[in-house]
Amino acid sequence: MIAEHFPILVILTPLLSAILIPLVGMIRRQLCWHVAFVASHIGFLISGWLLLRVRDTGRISYWLGGWEPPWGIEYVLDDLNALVLLVISFIAFMSVLYARKSIEAEIEPVRIPAFYSIFMLFVTGLMGIVITGDVFNLYVFLEISSLAGYALIAANRKKEALLASYNYLILGTIAATFILIGIGYLYMVTGSLNMADLRERLPSLYHSKVVLTAFAFFTVGLSLKLALFPLHVWLPNAYTYAPSVVSAVMAATATKVGAYVLLRIMFTVFSVEFDLHVVSITSILLFLSLTAIVAGSVLAIAQTNIKRMLAYSSVGQIGYIVLGATIVNETAMTGSILHILNHALMKGTLFFVAGCVIYKTGIKDISGLKGMARRMPFSMAAFTIAGLSMVGVPLTVGFVSKWHIALGAIQADMWYLVPVILLSSLLTAVYFGRVIETIYFSKEPGAKKSGSGLNEPRGRAGVQEAPFGMLLPTLILAALCIVFGAAASTSVSYAGAAARLLLGGM
Amino acid sequence: MTISTFPPFMVFFAGALMVLLLKGRLRSAVLMCIPVIGFLNLISTPEGTHWTVHFLEHTLIFGKVDKLSLAFGAVYHLITLIAVIYSLHVRERGHHSVSLLLSGSGVGAVFSGDLISLFIFWEIMAVAGTLLVWMGSGRGAAPAGMRYFIVHLFGGLFFLFGALLHIQATGTADFGFIGLGSLASWLLFISFGINCAWPGLHAWIPDAYPQTTPAGAVFMWTFTTKTAVFVLLRAFPGTELLIWIGAVMAVFPVFFALIENNLRRVLAYGLINQLGFMVAGIGIGTPLSINGTVSHVICHILYNALLVMSMGAVLHRTGKIHCTDLGGLCKSMPLTTAFCIVGAVSISGFPLFSGFVSKSMVLEAAGIGQMAMVWILLMIAVIGDFQSVGIKVPYRAFFAHDAGLSPKEAPPHMLAAMGIAAFFCIAVGVYPSVLYAMLPYPVDFQPYTAAHVVTTCQLLLFGALAYLLFVRFGLLTPERRATNLDADWFYRKGAQAFMWVVNRPAARVAQWFSAAVFDRMPAFLAWFGRNPLAALKIGGDLILLFFSSGQHRQKIAQRIKQEKEIFPGDIMKRWPVGTSVLWVTMFLLAYLLVYYLK
Amino acid sequence: MRMKLLFSLLLFASVVAEFFVLKHVYFPWEDVPLFYAAFGFVAFVLFMLGAKYVLLPIVRRGETYYDD
């Protein structure tokens, strides 16, 4: 049955499309998007099916080529990565939908086939990282997605983008190398590359220096990939200067995948006991994540460029995800995993809107958004919803994950963390509030002040909304910010199952 | 959940949405129907606990219906109707929608039976209030709205933190009596206090409220603060601290109101004074004082709205609201003047008007409890209120010196709204049993005793006498255009300082860091790469320079200069043997270390 | 003129009426004749003075003080 091969199909589909697209592009350039669209759609559907299957029957294990692990490569789907896989594939799907118009404006036509091809490679890499159960395979996919990512950032060939991509390349390669060293060390002492197998073999070696060194390399390498403060320096420039759809998809997926890998290494390959007692990595990461949360929010306030503000905001949000993981109880971990989903939705919406604005008006600065609510009411509404969600207003997704992390902190007797979490909400309110006020209540340059942006009749230029192909994914994501915020029980139960899995064992 | 009515807030929220899609007469009609439908829905709802929902592993209760919530709910519906009629002239759809959102969340909060749903409504109120402030047309509306947002979000954070701790400690999210004690209760206490404008936490009211539109003002003055009073009634009745907070709250705003030029800011301070009575009543905690608080809430909402509406009408017609710009309007706006006077007389507590039957209950409760100091303070507050709002507002706007303005009378819908409010002010004053029937505890209070009437008249009339004498002898200070500082000075100047820090040092540090990693590091590596050996030599010499002194120092510095100049130079320079030996030794050391580690 | 006359009449009436009513007092000072009258008058004056001479010098600034 073909369904048995879904785990490999979900990787093969984007991979094959990446090969197919340049060929198609030679025949008719317009068809490239269609191929990408179909491939990402299929990937999304398969991921959804896999998640439901995992909920029903439990862990799925797929042996590549029929070779038995730990010698063969194994693809594993459990509560955690099935969820993450769905998030990634959904965002990828939405991004492809969005990219059609967005890319036409930002990239030279002759390069579009190459762009879609590399984009699908990027998606392949990400999904591979999530689905694989073998650490070396993970490294391979990590490199695929990273290299594709560097190319994507530089796709619009602007000077700043090239430089940002180059810097990211240097740091990303260092990170990948560290991860490889970690993998190498683990292989050296255990003879195994399979995650489940490693989990069994490692405990007797927990105190060996090699294992400790390996863990150190993993942590540093992943922190770089994850953009955990202070190793985040590549992120602001990369997100700001990349093409809009690339910023969106990277903000919503790449760092989340990094978080996923960190969780896997910390809790599946190694174990909770290791993290708490052998190496107090949780304390170190706790401190770093708190710093990230505060620093990210403070630095975001100082920004005038929309995308750069969102980039620093992401640095802060990544802090939340790591914070939830370091509290090591079920509630907080649920919040952390929820935030992987929720932040993908929120940041995806925000970057999509930024892209809509750039597409329609070329405006990149916050001050340029004055009175934009009149011209682009739907995009701005989506921005407002996502912004309120970032602040953590109830009935939005942002509230749900913050609630869990804060509650988890209290349950773990670390209630002193709660003021920091809440303080960052306040800081977030400052920079988003400012943008929202500019959008709705400032006068357009040249227009008379006439109250709120929801006025009738419409402003001078009338409504000039972004094209439907870009607006639709934006609105879908924004709507989901509310849907999963008000009717949160589904996402909470999935995340809860994943959390229990991580903390309880395999 | 088997009753046939729906949660009251839903009517308002649905209305808020519908209004966005309608225009013109139809919209006005729908607007007026919404509170009416809501009210009919409300009175058909029996007492008890209804409409529960599961969310985040807790039970949310959207219908905790008892006498207390019904009383608040009823007056909220009434004031919404009045306010909606008053705002029929507003053409922005967003304005109507947001106003209904504000009143709807107030209604929702009042019927909320658990902390989570209460928090949801609390936050929606904060957002709606912010939007209403931002819709004001003045230049100061934008920053004031931002401050409003931050202050209320800050309060909301205390709420959330306290709620989380409380839920964790008690295992349930139910909202009822809490009482001061745990950290959680203090956090909630402070959060409620921010919305209730306690001394020190009050400055957001005079800051933001005067920035709203005339129509939005009626909503703003009512919902946020009275909902805070409500939650205090539920959670902290009888808390002694509240008595003192309330007493102070009732007195200090009078001073500010007396020197204030902007009449809506005067009304804002007047609001704080009135809230003080309510808070003190909650603190005293006896059935009489609770009754007093609730009746005061109901009466206050109406007469305060009347005052706000009359000032709004003045602002609407003349575009001015400062004492210095106004005066002598009684001839051209007689009805507005009359309504304003009704409101002023009510707020001061004259017999035959609603203030008389409500304020006296709290004072009586203080008397029964033999709380001398409190009683005196509240009595002082009565005079102060009379003086700073009851006399000042109508006098400065409609009498005093003639400013030469002759605006038209207020438009009919505003007059209608004011008329309804005035009607209730007088009706309740003359026939208080209707009011008393709504109160949570059975009422055994007789406001119209001969003694009470006489003493109140003495109090107020002689106060008025003092005023007339001041005027007669020219002792009354004329108003001036100026800014009067209040507690918001701390965070306004503080915020400026914070933003300075963020924009300069913080961002600079981030920039420096980025530059160091991305520019200087690669540049150094590139320089190094061109001739590593020579670079190492320079490095070694620099270290020697650091450790040497005197003559040697000069020689070494010279050498370094030369080396830097000829860099990258000739790679194949001859090495002294010593350097090679050094390298070999270092490699050996490295191998040994690695061996040990393994 | 008529207003002034009416007002004076009311004042006088309130003073006189005090002696004909039965007060149930909670505090001893309430028994003092014309207590409320005096209280109203004095409180009024104190407020005026306090506002003008104590608060005003402390908090008054120019109109453009904040200029956000």
pLDDT by residue for chain B (598 residues), tens only, comes to: 446 678 888 889 999 988 888 888 888 888 899 999 989 888 888 888 888 888 877 888 888 888 899 999 999 999 999 999 999 988 887 899 999 999 999 999 999 989 999 999 999 999 999 999 998 888 888 888 988 998 999 999 999 999 988 988 888 888 888 888 888 899 999 999 999 999 989 999 999 999 999 999 999 999 999 999 999 999 999 888 999 999 999 999 999 998 888 999 999 999 999 999 999 999 998 888 999 999 999 999 999 999 999 999 999 998 888 888 888 888 888 999 999 999 999 999 888 898 888 888 888 888 888 888 898 999 999 999 998 999 889 988 888 777 777 888 889 999 999 999 999 999 988 888 888 888 888 888 888 888 888 888 888 888 888 888 888 887 777 778 888 888 888 888 887 787 777 777 777 777 777 777 667 777 777 777 776 667 777 777 777 777 776 667 777 777 777 777 766 655 444 555 666 677 777 777 777 777 667 5
B384 contact residues in C (CB cutoff 8 A): 43, 47
Give the residue from chain B lying closest to C39, CA to CA: B459
* Contact: C21, B450; criterion CB under 8 Å: yes
**In chain C, domain spans:** 22-61
Nearest to B92 among A298, A299, A454 (CB): A454
Say yes or no: C19 contacts chain B, CB-CB below 8 A. no
H or E element at residue B280: helix B263-284
Collapsing DSSP to helix, strand or coil, A458 comes out as coil
- Give the residue-averaged pLDDT of A28-53: 90
- Give the residue-averaged pLDDT of A159-186: 89
Interface size B-C, in CB pairs within 8 Å, comes to 134
| B125, B132, B161, B521, best to mutate vs chain A, most A CBs in 10 Å | B161
The contacts of residue A241 (CB under 8 Å, 6+ apart) are A153, A156, A158, A160, A161, A164
C66 contact residues in B (CB cutoff 8 A): 483, 492
Which of the two residues, A346 and A454, has the higher pLDDT score?
A346
A455 contact residues in B (CB cutoff 8 A): 91-92, 94
Q: Calculate how close chain B gets to C15, using CA atoms only, in Å.
A: 7
* Contact: B93, A456; criterion CB under 8 Å: yes
* Contact: B165, A410; criterion CB under 8 Å: yes
- The count of C-alpha atoms lying within 13 angstroms of the C-alpha of B263, restricted to the half-sphere facing its C-beta, is 30
The residues in B 33-62 lying below 8 A from A, measured between CB atoms, are 54-56
Query: Would residue A192 be called left, alpha or beta, if left means φ above 0 and alpha means ψ between -120 and 50 degrees?
Result: beta
Contacts 24+ apart (CB under 8 A), A312-315: A312/A236, A313/A347, A313/A390, A313/A428, A313/A431, A314/A227, A314/A235, A314/A239, A314/A251, A314/A255, A314/A343, A314/A347, A315/A227, A315/A229, A315/A232, A315/A235, A315/A236
Share of chain A above pLDDT 70, in %: 95
Kindly list the distances between the CA atom of residue A17 and the CA atoms of A33, A41, A139, B507, C56, in Å, as whole numbers in the listed order.
10, 12, 22, 43, 76
- Give the residue-averaged pLDDT of A473-486: 92
Residue A445 pLDDT more than 70? no
Nearest to A233 among B165, B499, B513 (CB): B513
Q: What is the pLDDT of residue B491?
A: 82
Burial of A36 (0-12, 13-18, 19+ CB in 10 A): buried
Kindly list the distances between the CA atom of residue A90 and the CA atoms of A87, A127, A166, B289, C4, in Å, as whole numbers in the listed order.
5, 11, 28, 59, 81
Contact (Cβ atoms closer than 8 angstroms) between residue A75 and residue A133: yes
Kindly list the distances between the CA atom of residue B194 and the CA atoms of A375, B49, B140, B202, B205, in Å, as whole numbers in the listed order.
37, 28, 22, 7, 10
Q: What is the pLDDT of residue B320?
A: 86
Residue C68 pLDDT more than 80? no
CA A297 to chain centre: 18
Helices B412-430 and B334-348, packing angle to 10 deg = 30
Touch test A–B: 3 Cβ pairs or more under 8 Å: yes
* Contact: C11, B462; criterion CB under 8 Å: yes
- Give the residue-averaged pLDDT of A456-480: 78
C41 contact residues in B (CB cutoff 8 A): 462-463, 465-466
pTM exceeds cut of 0.90: no
- Per-residue pLDDT of A270-315, as tens digits, reads 887 777 777 778 888 899 999 999 988 888 888 889 999 999 999 9
Say yes or no: C21 contacts chain B, CB-CB below 8 A. yes
Q: What is the pLDDT of residue B179?
A: 82
Give the residue from chain B lying closest to A164, CA to CA: B518
Q: Calculate how close chain A gets to B161, using CA atoms only, in Å.
A: 7
Q: What is the pLDDT of residue A336?
A: 93
Strands (E), A54-185: 60-63, 74-77
Contact (Cβ atoms closer than 8 angstroms) between residue B76 and residue B103: yes
* Contact: C47, B482; criterion CB under 8 Å: no
B596 contact residues in A (CB cutoff 8 A): none
Determine the Cα–Cα distance for residues B284 and B288; give it in Å rounded to an integer.
Answer: 9
Q: What is the pLDDT of residue B204?
A: 92
Give the residue from chain C lying closest to B251, CA to CA: C47
Longest dimension (CA), chain C: 60
Contact (Cβ atoms closer than 8 angstroms) between residue C40 and residue C34: no
Q: What is the pLDDT of residue B74?
A: 92
Q: What is the pLDDT of residue A467?
A: 87
Q: What is the pLDDT of residue B598?
A: 58
The residues in C 32-51 lying below 8 A from B, measured between CB atoms, are 34, 36-41, 43-45, 47-48, 50-51
The pLDDT confidence band at residue A505, using thresholds 50, 70 and 90, is low
The contacts of residue B527 (CB under 8 Å, 6+ apart) are B535
B455 contact residues in C (CB cutoff 8 A): 18, 23, 30, 36
Backbone angles phi, psi at C60, to 5 degrees: -75, 135
Say yes or no: C66 contacts chain B, CB-CB below 8 A. yes
B neighbour chains, 3+ CB pairs within 8 Å: A, C
Q: Which range, A335-344, A444-453, B12-21, has the best average confidence (pLDDT)?
A: A335-344
Nearest to B165 among A393, A415, A492 (CB): A415
Q: Smallest Cα–Cα separation from B400: which of B303, B479, B312?
A: B479
DSSP C60: E
The contacts of residue A14 (CB under 8 Å, 6+ apart) are A39, A40, A43, A92, A120, A121, A123, A124, A127
Q: What is the pLDDT of residue A97?
A: 93
A neighbour chains, 3+ CB pairs within 8 Å: B
Contact (Cβ atoms closer than 8 angstroms) between residue A401 and residue A424: no
- The count of C-alpha atoms lying within 13 angstroms of the C-alpha of B544, restricted to the half-sphere facing its C-beta, is 16
Q: Calculate how close chain B gets to C67, using CA atoms only, in Å.
A: 9
Say yes or no: C17 contacts chain B, CB-CB below 8 A. yes
Touch test A–C: 3 Cβ pairs or more under 8 Å: no
Contact (Cβ atoms closer than 8 angstroms) between residue A478 and residue A485: no
Determine the Cα–Cα distance for residues B72 and B295; give it in Å rounded to an integer.
Answer: 10
Q: What is the pLDDT of residue B553?
A: 74
Q: What is the pLDDT of residue A348?
A: 94
Q: What is the pLDDT of residue B468?
A: 86
Nearest to B95 among A209, A403, A452 (CB): A452
Residue A443 pLDDT more than 90? no
Burial of B35 (0-12, 13-18, 19+ CB in 10 A): buried
- Per-residue pLDDT of C8-60, as tens digits, reads 888 888 888 888 877 777 788 777 778 888 888 888 888 888 888 888 888 88
Nearest to A419 among B145, B150, B161 (CB): B161
Number of CB atoms found within 10 A of residue B572's CB: 7
The pLDDT mean for chain A works out to 87
Residue A40 pLDDT more than 90? yes
C55 contact residues in B (CB cutoff 8 A): 255-256, 258-259
Q: Which two tokens stand for residue B160?
A: 């959330």
Q: Which two tokens stand for residue A107?
A: 């990239």
